[in-house]
Amino acid sequence: MTSIIDKSGNTVAFLYQNMILDISQQVVIGLLLGNCVFGKQPAPVGKFFNATFRKKNGKIIAKLGEDVLLKKSPKDAHLSLQAWQLLTKVNDHVCIWIDEKKS
């Protein structure tokens, strides 16, 4: 599992098996498919490149942090079901070109 950090270096989420998990690691809040970032919307909400999550306008949302070892592993079956529910709502899977911005 890898932490996702904001501009201040605070962990805001985790990346685990292409799922973006909330800080409690119990809720799937997004998916990383290829380099496209999906949330609850049926279309991509952003892109992931150069270890950075970006909005459609190119602004940085967050970056990958350190790999994290957990004392308690996430409940994979529960998370997989949540991820599948998000995935079935995707109907526009074409990622747009995003220009890289510094901030």
Pairwise pLDDT comparison (95 vs 90), residue with the higher score: 90
Tens-digit pLDDT profile for residues 23-74: 887 899 999 998 999 998 888 999 999 999 999 888 999 999 999 887 666 7
Tell me the average pLDDT across 73-98. 84
Residue by residue, DSSP assigns the chain as -EEEE-TTS-EEEEEETTEEE-TTSSSEEEEEETTEEE-SSSS--EEEETTEEEETTS-EEEEEEEE---SS---HHHHHHHHHHHHHT----PPPP------
